[in-house]
């Protein structure tokens, strides 16, 4: 059975931090963005199968930032392109052939990558699955608790709807572990609200597509709440497009969505840090340095709305930051980079 570490909380502009328990921290540093330390020796690979997604891009930036902060990494090789398990297996084979010391993978499937992960482990490569889990025994796992994310998301929305009405249920990509886990939590929460129904649509975690779907759905029907899985702010915009009063919308800590909540739009953030990539890099480096590291690290999401958490939301929002940017910038005990190293998105030598 895997051991795991729990972490919870919210971080913004390095003022608020997610608190991790039972973990040692990685070796921090004051390296400038793009710099490598004198003892730089490791090469880290990254495999991402959702190219062009802002959350995933920040995940990769966090890997680079942690690599720079450590001073122990000479290069980060990131492969980011759209695909499923078959394409990701090829990408992992590519990284192995390039001689990486560790691989940070956001898995497209819970089971199908196991053979290539075991092959990497047999060659001494540390593999850390982030955001979604894999079942390979040799892999380390660093995830946001996606079942709890889906549960908290649905429970807050159901309460905001007064326990009755229809939800526009906007899912991600069918079959991806994070989406499957969120669906489990969603259905568990709604089991306690028999007077709520829902209609499922698929967004592919694409903000533009999600906004277009929302316009179509809101034009055709009235919903009392919208559950989103990463397309939050474009859904809020859709209400203005169709000239309807907004109803409660749930999402993650997207900069634009936080701004909308502060402007009075009804809804709530359920935290889902994109910098989980940096957590994965921190774990990989600690393992490479001979530390005993627990196999699973789980970040517990929090619900943030204007009524209960205005101060946190205000400290997290920046009008100068990209609208897609995820507001969690550090996780105490699990990341060591500075906000500047994260936002530069430059790996060692870049």
pLDDT tens-digit map of 269-318: 999 999 999 999 999 999 999 999 999 999 999 999 999 999 999 999 99
User: What is the pTM assigned to this prediction?
Assistant: 0.85
Domain ranges of the chain: 4-144+273-301+322-344, 146-270
What's the 3-state SS for the chain?
Answer: CCCEEEEEEEEECCCEEEEECCCCCCCCCCCCCCCCCCCCCEEEEEEECCCCCHHHHHHHHHHHHHHHHHCCEEEEEEEECCCCHHHHHHHHHHHHHCCCCEEEECCCCCCCCHHHHHHHHHCCCEEEEECCCCCCCCCEEEEECHHHHHHHHHHHHHHHCCCCEEEEEEECCCCCHHHHHHHHHHHHHHCCCCCEEEEEEECCCCHHHHHHHHHHHHHHCCCCEEEECCCHHHHHHHHHHCCCCCCCEEECCEHHHHHHHHCCCCEEEECCCCCHHHHHHHHHHHHHCCCCCCCEEEEECCEECHHHHHHHHHHHCCCCCCCCCECCCCEECCCCCCHHHHHHCCCCCC
Band (pLDDT 50/70/90 cuts) for residue 2 is: very low
Q: Do domains 4-144+273-301+322-344 and 146-270 have the same CATH topology?
A: yes
* Mean per-residue pLDDT, 1-21: 35
Query: Picking from 24-28, 30-34, 49-53, which range would have the lowest pLDDT averaged per residue?
Result: 24-28
Q: Please report, rounded to a whole number, the percentage of residues in the chain having pLDDT higher than 90.
A: 84
pLDDT on residue 4: 35
Band (pLDDT 50/70/90 cuts) for residue 35 is: very low
Q: Which fold has domain 146-270?
A: Rossmann fold (3.40.50)
The CATH number corresponding to 4-144+273-301+322-344 among 3.40.50.2300, 3.40.50.300, 3.20.20.70, 3.10.105.10 equals 3.40.50.2300
pLDDT tens-digit map of 230-266: 899 999 999 999 999 999 999 999 999 999 999 999 9
pLDDT tens-digit map of 45-56: 999 999 988 899
């Amino acid at each position: 059975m895997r051991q795991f570490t729990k972490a919870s909380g919210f971080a913004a502009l390095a003022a608020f931090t997610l608190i991790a328990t039972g973990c040692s921290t990685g070796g921090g540093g004051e390296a400038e963005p793009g710099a490598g330390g004198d003892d730089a020796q490791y090469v880290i690979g990254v495999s991402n199968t959702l190219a062009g997604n802002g959350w995933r891009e920040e995940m990769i930036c966090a890997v680079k930032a942690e690599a720079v902060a450590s001073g122990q990494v000479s290069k980060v090789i990131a492969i980011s392109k759209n695909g499923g398990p078959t394409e990701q297996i090829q990408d992992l084979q590519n990284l192995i052939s390039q001689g990486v010391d560790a691989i940070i993978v956001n898995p497209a499937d819970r089971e199908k990558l196991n053979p290539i992960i075991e092959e990497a482990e047999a060659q001494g490569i540390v593999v850390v699955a982030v955001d979604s889990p894999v079942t390979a025994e040799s892999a380390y796992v660093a995830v946001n608790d996606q079942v709890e994310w889906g549960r908290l998301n649905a429970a807050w929305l159901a309460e905001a709807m007064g326990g009755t009405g229809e939800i526009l249920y906007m899912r991600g990509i069918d079959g991806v572990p994070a989406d499957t886990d969120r669906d489990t939590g969603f259905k568990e929460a709604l089991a306690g609200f028999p007077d709520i129904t829902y209609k499922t649509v698929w967004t592919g975690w694409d903000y533009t597509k999600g906004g277009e779907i929302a316009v179509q759905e809101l034009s055709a029907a009235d919903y009392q709440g919208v559950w989103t899985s990463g397309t939050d702010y474009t859904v809020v915009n859709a209400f203005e497009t169709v000239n309807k009063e907004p109803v409660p919308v749930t999402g993650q800590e997207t900069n634009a969505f936080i701004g909308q909540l502060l402007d009075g739009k009804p809804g709530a953030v359920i935290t889902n840090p994109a910098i989980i990539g940096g957590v994965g890099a921190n774990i990989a480096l600690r393992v490479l340095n001979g530390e005993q590291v627990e196999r699973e690290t789980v970040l517990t999401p929090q619900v943030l709305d204007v009524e209960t958490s205005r101060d946190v939301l205000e400290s997290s929002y920046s009008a100068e930051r990209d609208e897609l940017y995820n507001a969690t910038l550090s996780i105490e005990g699990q990341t060591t980079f500075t906000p500047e190293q994260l936002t530069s998105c430059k790996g060692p030598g870049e």
